[in-house]
Each structure stands twice: as structure tokens, then as C-alpha cells.
Amino acid sequence: MDCDKLLHQICDELAEDIDSEVCQQLRIHLQQCANCRNGVESMRKTVALYRCLQQKDVPPAVHARLLTLLNLTDI
């Protein structure tokens, strides 16, 4: 599985049942691919930090930059 495709799938497939075939394939790939594990860990840390900031006003420019870095559309 291509690493870029995997990282996009993680975001797209979050609504998947944890026992679905897609989630199983993602887990297997993450066990075998250090680059993807690092990418996922980086995303987890970013989300955790961002959640802490939600208690405060986040400037729109910072919010937009974060969405761009995570390759997400404005939500």
C-alpha cells in the first residue's frame, strides 16, 4: 500500500468499524511502515495540541495553516 494513500485513507475512513477490512489493512501497514507510523504519530500529537487550544481563541490564520498542513479542507 502506498504511504500517501494510506494517510489519506486514515482520515477518510475514520467512520469505519474498527474491525472492518480497511482498518485491519491499515493496522498491518502501520506495523510494517515506519514512515506511516511516524506520520500518524505526528498527526495524533498535532490533534492533541490543537484540542488543548480549542479552549482559547485560535486565530483564523493559525487554524487555516493547520488545516493546510494536515491536508484537510476547512471544517
Cα→Cα distances 16→5, 56, 62, 69, Å: 16, 31, 30, 24
**56 falls within a domain:** yes
pLDDT in tens, the chain (75 residues): 566 666 666 666 566 666 777 778 888 888 898 988 888 888 878 877 877 775 667 788 988 888 888 877 655
Burial class of residue 26 (count of CB atoms within 10 Å of its CB; 0-12, 13-18, 19+): buried
Predicted local confidence at residue 12, as pLDDT: 64
Rounded CA-CA distance 44/14 in Å is 13
Give the number of domains in the chain: 1
**74 falls within a domain:** no
**52 falls within a domain:** yes
Predicted local confidence at residue 21, as pLDDT: 79
| 48: containing domain | 3-69
Dihedral, CA of residue 54, residue 58, residue 61 and residue 67, to nearest 10: -10
Taking each helix axis as running N to C, give the angle between helix 34-53 and helix 60-69, from 0 to 180 degrees, rounded to the nearest 10. 160
pTM of the entire predicted model? 0.50
